[in-house]
Amino acid sequence: MHTPDIACLRAAVAWRQTGHRIALATVLSTWGSSPRPAGSLLVIRDDGRIEGSVSGGCVEDDLIDHARGRMAEADARPEVRQYGVGPEQARRAGLPCGGQLSLLLEPDPPAEALQELLNALTEGERRVRRVDSLSGQWLLLPAMGAGQAVRWDGRRLTQTLGTQYRLLLVGANQIAGYLAPMAMSCGFAVTVCDPRPEMEDDALPPNVPRVRDMPDDATLAFAPDAHCAVVTLTHDPKLDDLALMEALATPAFLVGALGSQRSNDARRARLREHFGLTDAQLARLRGPVGLPLGSKRPPEIAVSILAQLLAEKNRQLAPAPASNCASALA
């Protein structure tokens, strides 16, 4: 799995191993049009190189200069930095789109804890990171439940890291081969279901789990909750309908099916007549799945599906639409 958080941690560990000092910045909270959410990470190397982002480029230069000075201190402790709060900061290094952010800057975070956290996230596990800003000490715990991304009580940072969202794809085809790694890079844990023996694993990246159960059994075992999505890609009613009849009875935040409008109308009729699904359940079916990009090539179809997944997911997290400025900087 490769996500922005893993990329930051991997860079932090690698730079440490080559003798560099580093600092870690974590967004605690945002107001207005700040283009990065709470929990976003940025690692800064002592020569000014960075991995990650906390503002889309608006405040990084000022933060890098400050962090390099802190790294030179013998016993630097974490500190809270705020940007875009006052008029002077807004002119000097504030967010040009009017947003504000508060972040925790940690010079010299503990090396063993960084490595432990990187190992866990790389293996697809989730962790809660607790940081005492007075001592700089970390405590890593298994994450239970969905969890709030970031909590800050004025002294302690509590941050949940790792995949919270899951995606079940039915159909080990080319579209799944493109969609799975893109969804994984956006933080989804992806599983592909396809019981057909003729569908080999060649279309899928080697790090994508595949199950060969029938789609209804696979969906039940997946146990979709409000942080899950199920998308069928086979065009075969004998497979797609089995997954959909189970998924539409769950709290999954998105249930979608590939195919034309005509085929999806026929699918809804079958699900109603043969499987007894209600109108309310059928109204939740996104079919055809994917934003209407006019795409016919597998990678473009995958992009359209991922775009709808992210739109539905982010609508849960932030019901208010982002401003044009924030969207442009994100």
- How do the pLDDT tens digits run along the chain, 330 residues long? 568 899 999 999 999 999 999 999 999 988 766 667 889 999 999 999 999 988 867 788 999 999 999 998 888 899 999 987 555 555 555 555 557 889 999 999 999 999 999 999 988 888 999 999 999 999 999 987 665 689 999 999 999 998 778 999 999 999 999 999 999 988 898 999 999 988 876 788 888 889 999 999 999 999 999 889 999 999 999 999 999 999 999 999 999 999 999 999 999 999 999 999 999 999 999 999 999 998 889 999 999 999 999 999 988 655 343 333 332 222
pLDDT for the residue numbered 187: 85
**Rounded to an integer, what distance in angstroms lies between the CA atom of residue 115 and that of residue 239?**
42
pLDDT for the residue numbered 37: 82
Closest CA to 160 of 129, 194, 184: 129
Which long-range contacts (C-beta less than 8 Å, at least 24 apart) are formed by 74-79? 76/107, 76/108, 77/107, 77/133, 77/134, 77/135, 77/136, 78/104, 78/105, 78/106, 78/107, 78/131, 78/133, 78/136, 79/104, 79/105, 79/133
As a whole number of angstroms, the longest Cα–Cα distance in the chain is 72
pLDDT for the residue numbered 322: 38
pLDDT for the residue numbered 131: 97
Domain ranges of the chain: 4-115, 165-317
pLDDT for the residue numbered 1: 56
**Rounded to an integer, what distance in angstroms lies between the CA atom of residue 39 and that of residue 56?**
14
Fold of the CATH domain 165-317: Rossmann fold (3.40.50)
Strand order in the sheet with 22-31: 50-52, 41-45, 22-31, 100-107, 79-83
